[in-house]
Amino acid sequence: MKHLKLASASALSIAAASFASTAQAEDLTLCWAAWDPANALVELSKEFESQSGHTMSFEFIPWPNFADRMLNELNSGGKLCDLLIGDSQWIGGGAENGHYVKLNDFFEAESISMSDFADATVYAYSTWPKGTPNYYALPAMGDANGWFYRKDWFGREDIQAAYKEATGEDLREPQSQKEMLQIAQFFQGREIDGQTVYGAAIFTERGSEGITMGVTSALYPWGFKYENTPGSYDMDGAVNSPEAVEALEFYKEFYETATPPGYTNSYMGESLDAFKSGQVAMAMNWFAFFPGLYADPNTGGDKIDFFVNPPQNNAGSTLGGQGISVVAYSDKQDAALEYIKWFANPDVQAKWWELGGYSAHNSVLNDPGFKDSAPFAGDFLEAMGSVQDFWQEPAYAELLLAMQKRLHDYIVADQGTAQEALDKLVEDWTEVFEDEGKL
């Protein structure tokens, strides 16, 4: 990684020359979610300001309100954001409703090649219709749902012995979803250093996307598919398959037997709080938070380690992450495109990773030193190799809210069976696609 740092330092100054022709200094506003990587981006963007003469303002919205706030902004044709790092699922709506500027001509003119970025991220964050060479965003932040655990607890001889006695197996990083549940159940209610601790912090949030992101982390390893045939919207038999039912029942069991009390509406913040306060042995969360977790003085460093979402029938992780788009309603599109051009520079991407952002650029990911550059870097690469995303349709919000309701009703409110929940979900989604004229 050392040579990446050196290269980025020297090349940033070279990149400065490319902005010498800026016609007019603008004040650009970049909108994103309020979280750790956003702070890293503020730091990174200082380079852009000094090189381009433009100034940068930032509008960071807390995650629970991010989609609501930003989609309202786009739908109303608002000019608040010149650049938007929007969730991957928004790409369909962004493209079809004319919110995002199509970037193909710009990429061609500036020799920005999408093949320089990881395929999975280009597919997920940039293209609409999916997989076609129509680009509406540049991959900005690769991300997936992963896990972290108390390495110090896992390493203690007394705890290892107790686990061996209880299960007959060695306590280790879980190799499957079921092993992970077994470990979480082992820790549930256990006394460690005079404090009662619990198994794991998982996502159960109802209002935005939390429980869906958590449950899909179980569904994907069980082999979940949204359609029987991709692009056909024939969901019956895929969404409510026996494997999906088993995965959903698994997640409910996880929630009921291995999470802290009162964990009924929890997402990223609650997961971080539960882990940092020493309440849980394991927690799920987005890789984006891992640099901050590792740096935490109380539960980071030697006390923490990370692992990719364990497989069950196959490997599978829930995709997070975002692409950066130019908002079509912005009056400063030229300056915004300058930012995209600057951000696509491999050296800027290298610095982005150093500061805590997850670059999706191949020059960073394929660097021989990348895997060892952070304790979670290897897991990140592994996760990005098996990511799956939620629907990215223009009607994604309806599809998401339907899933939020059905999952929360079954898992947290204990209503009906897993089969019924998924059958109802198929009905809800069928209705949405009928309204969309796709069925």
Partner 1 sequence: MTDTPATRAAQATPVGVARKIKGLSDRAIAWIFVGPTIFLLLAINIFPLIWTINLSFTNFRANRPNREVDYVGLRNYERILTDSDIWLNMQATAHFLFWTIFFQVLIGFTLAYLINKKFKGNDLWTTIIVLPMMLSPAVVGNFWKFLYQPQIGLFNYVVAFLSGKDPSSFEMLGSVQLAPWSIVIVDTWMWTPFVMLICLAGLRSIPDYIYEAAEVDRASKLRQFFTITIPMVLPFLMLAVLFRGIENFKMFDLVVQLTGGGPGSTTELTSINLKREAFEKWRTGYASAYAIILFVTVFGLASIYVKALNKVKER
Q: Which residues bind partner 1 (CB under 8 A)?
A: 68, 71-72, 75, 93, 97-98, 205-207, 260-265, 394, 397-398, 401, 405, 408-410, 412-415, 435
Nearer to partner 1, 77 or 131 (CB): 77
C-alpha–C-alpha distance, residues 155 and 117, integer Å:
38
Burial class from Cβ neighbours inside 10 Å (0-12, 13-18, 19+) for residue 110 reads: middle
Nearer to partner 1, 177 or 208 (CB): 208
Nearer to partner 1, 276 or 408 (CB): 408
Nearer to partner 1, 194 or 262 (CB): 262
How far is the CA of 438 from the CAs of 133, 167, 231, 349, 411, in angstroms? 22, 50, 10, 39, 30
Q: Closest separation between CB of residue 392 and partner 1, Å? A: 16
Angle among Cα 78, 84, 87 to the nearest 5 degrees reads: 115
Largest CA distance in the chain: 71
Q: Closest separation between CB of residue 434 and partner 1, Å? A: 11
Listed residue (308, 280, 306, 309) closest to 293, CA to CA: 306
Q: Are 393 and 399 in contact (CB under 8 A)?
A: yes
Nearer to partner 1, 39 or 65 (CB): 65
C-alpha–C-alpha distance, residues 57 and 42, integer Å:
9
Q: Closest separation between CB of residue 435 and partner 1, Å? A: 7
Cross-sheet strand order for the sheet of 195-201: 190-192, 195-201, 280-286, 145-150, 304-308
- Side chain identity, residue 168: G
Q: Closest separation between CB of residue 317 and partner 1, Å? A: 26
Give 361's DSSP letter: B
Mode of pairing for the β-strands spanning 322-326 and 280-286: unpaired
Cross-strand bridge partners of residue 123: none
Q: 135 by DSSP, 3-state: which?
A: strand
Helix H or strand E segment including 18: none
Nearer to partner 1, 205 or 354 (CB): 205
Backbone angles phi, psi at 148, to 5 degrees: -140, 155
Nearer to partner 1, 205 or 347 (CB): 205
Q: Closest separation between CB of residue 413 and partner 1, Å? A: 3
Q: Closest separation between CB of residue 341 and partner 1, Å? A: 30
Nearer to partner 1, 112 or 280 (CB): 280
Q: Are 305 and 375 in contact (CB under 8 A)?
A: yes
Q: Closest separation between CB of residue 101 and partner 1, Å? A: 16
Nearer to partner 1, 1 or 328 (CB): 328
Give 117's DSSP letter: B
Q: Closest separation between CB of residue 148 and partner 1, Å? A: 22
C-alpha–C-alpha distance, residues 219 and 251, integer Å:
9
Give 125's DSSP letter: H
Q: Closest separation between CB of residue 280 and partner 1, Å? A: 12
